[in-house]
Homo-oligomer: A and B are copies of this chain.
Amino acid sequence: MTSIIDETASSPVADSPARALVCRGCGAEYPLAAQHACYQCFGPLEVAYDPAALARVTRAQIVAGPQNIWRYAPLLPVGQDPASRVTLDPGLTPLVSASALAAELGITAPLWVKDDSANPTHSFKDRVVSVALTAARGLGFTRFACASTGNLANSVAAHAARAGTPSIVFIPGDLEQGKVITTAVYGGDLVAIEGSYDDVNRLCSELVETDEFEDTAFVNVNVRPFYAEGSKTLGYEVAEQLGWRIPAQVVIPMASGELLTKIDKAFSELVEIGLVDAPAGGWRVFGAQSAGCNPIATALHKGTDEIVPVRPTGIAKSLNIGDPAAGLYALEAVRRTGGWMDYADDDEIRAAIQLLARTTGVFAETAGGVTTAVLRKLVASGRLDPSLETVVFNTGEGLKTIDAVAEQVGPTHRVKPSLRAAREAGLLG
């Protein structure tokens, strides 16, 4: 595949501020193409931008844009031309004031839930998929693919259906039924792998090297640097929705760890280009994992950079990445900003899903339960300052993981359809 800049497809990217792919390990630079690892040190690649191009971006320019992630196109590597976009137009999801939740947890400053279940396929993955597939089409790929723990599968399949492009999606064989059907219904190929997500990911890394998959963009493999940039929009939106301010504390779920690093990157960019002022004392980044898959948090707790892969267990399947690709960078961001990481077990996750729903009206999937449970722990342990403004990220939709709370909640009364039966059931006082 050739460089995205050289493409003669109908997708001009003339106004992209992206300059190159840069190795996060050794700093080597490469053109903006379908490459995700450094040829010299095998480190992961990241999109680098032209600082002058970013510096020209104004609040007014963003505010005049569409009511979705593409309002931030001047800060993204692709999608400047609306006709080039492969997208369901995700983003500008609600930032919900969570005062009742704050009161229950003993948080005295404003607390917000960034509710990304409001995206078209009901997870934050629509953001990264829109950016990845827009890059993929620009690079000439004609089939869309991914390795997924579920939400990504939903998003890639739906994007492909909307775009009229073939898709092939790879998932672990034990995924929640809701996520399987919500992928299969779009009609693309859906491959259930008898193994864990890490097995699925390894297989996809092999497939992408075959001739038969030369035309195929794996959103989180060969176009991963573009994909990862989509997560920045969550950070941009929070800052804009707070009135061009960065919150003092953010609590973010971790699977690969990439989302956390990109929200932190988004905040840094906004400060560097002068669109926001940093809060006094800077911002602190907190990471949340489940007890069944906590390799990054464990490394932090042990004070090491050595992230020991685990075989994930537990109900928070969308976070079950045992060998997290961006774990090191997540550790770096949390240490640099003075944050912390913690993890929650399945019972804590279930309780937190109910707590969040009852106090905010937001029904989160297990990942949102993880984040809310960890928020509670961070307050209790004193790691998170309850007197500072905090944003907690819900990245997915409770309807996709209803089994998590199916035994916990249900009808409070069962009654025959008569006033007498209602009275006997105690409904009339």
Residues in A lying within 8 Å of B, measured CB to CB? 67, 88-89, 92, 94, 96, 100, 118, 120-122, 158-162, 164, 168, 171, 173, 177-178, 180-182, 184-187, 189-195, 199-200, 202-203, 206-207, 210, 212-213, 353-354, 357-361, 363, 397-400, 402, 405-406, 409-419, 422, 425, 427-429
Contact = CB atoms under 8 A, between A and B. Distances in A.
Contacts of A194: 414-417
A192 B89 CA distance: 38
B419 A161 contact: no
Contact of A180 (B213, B411, B413): B411
- Identical copies in the complex: 2
Given A207-B419, A413-B191, A415-B192, A363 B185 contact: yes
Given A406-B181, A429-B212, A92 B118 contact: no
A397 to B, nearest CB: 7
Contacts of A120: 94, 118, 361
Contacts of A203: 417-419, 422
A161 B101 CA distance: 11
Contact of A162 (B121, B191, B360, B397): B360
Contacts of A354: 185, 187
Given A158-B363, A412-B191, A427-B191, A417 B212 contact: no
A419 B185 contact: no
Given A161-B358, A199-B417, 11 more contacts: A118-B118, A158-B363, A177-B406, A181-B402, A184-B412, A185-B354, A185-B409, A193-B416, A194-B417, A203-B417, A206-B419
